[in-house]
Homo-oligomer: A and B are copies of this chain.
């Protein structure tokens, strides 16, 4: 199954044979004070440079979240989306809980964007899926519902099935729904990694759809987070994840290594290109 995303000048395809798609996570003010200030001040130069630096580091899609305290998302999100689309040309991932902001951004974003996110909650399904359908977008689906995030992998697979079914009823293809099995912190629950990996494996087998995940949450509260994030990404790709929302400057090497080791990189071409590019950037 091929998930296709389009920007104004590039497009990207996620499937089970090709390389993992890297979604840059850094346009998100949570825990990033300097970015929050830039968003409030509408310092587009700073924000666009952050976008470009992620593309240079290997991001093929950029997540855009402008929800800093005191910001009017409905006004700001479309403006930032237009700016970043203009300077980078890559497909964008609209990351907001604000329906009006999502609607406004979907009107201005070029190509075929990704919406981050819908969940299995009725309120989310009823609001987000029609917008996704109307715009012809793709959507990240979180495996949680009114009861919260299921503790076990089988229940997460069930929630994924429910969202896929609801999307299909509206005419959204399974290829346009990327399931995020929700990785919790392994420091708080030492089964968190295992449950997420089992959920990835189960979703891949049962539905064959694209699987997207955030990598950094798993290491929250533990030492040497980078080593844990690296190991988790490699394991997740080994189990079937094909999209990762991450900091490309830190994890592109590991992701391209995992692609090579899964047989998705003929002649190690992407791995070597990514190494050379990282070396050039560090010089």
Contact = CB atoms under 8 A, between A and B. Distances in A.
Interface core residue of A223, A230, A261 (most chain B CB under 10 Å): A261
Interface residues of A, number: 38
Q: Which of A186, A238, A257, A271 has the most CB of B within 10 A?
A: A257
Contacts of A187: 268
Contacts of A191: 263
A253 B230 CA distance: 11
A59 B239 CA distance: 27
Contacts of A186: 260-261, 268
Can you tell how many copies of this chain the complex includes? 2
Q: Is the interface of A mostly helix, strand, loop or mixed?
A: helix
Given A186-B268, A222-B272, A275-B223, A261 B230 contact: no
Nearest to A276: B223
A158 to B, nearest CB: 20
Contact of A261 (B223, B231, B271, B276): B231
Nearest to A267: B190
Contacts of A267: 190
A38 interface: no
B224 A253 contact: yes
A153 to B, nearest CB: 11
Contacts of A237: 235
Contacts of A258: 231, 235
A190 B260 contact: yes
Nearest to A223: B275
A197 B260 CA distance: 12
A28 interface: no
A146 interface: no
- Going nearest first, the 9 A-B pairs with the smallest beta carbon separation are A194-B263, A193-B261, A231-B257, A234-B234, A235-B238, A231-B234, A223-B275, A238-B238, A228-B257
Given A197-B262, A224-B257, A230-B230, 13 more contacts: A186-B268, A190-B267, A190-B268, A193-B261, A193-B262, A222-B271, A227-B254, A228-B261, A230-B234, A231-B234, A231-B257, A235-B237, A238-B239
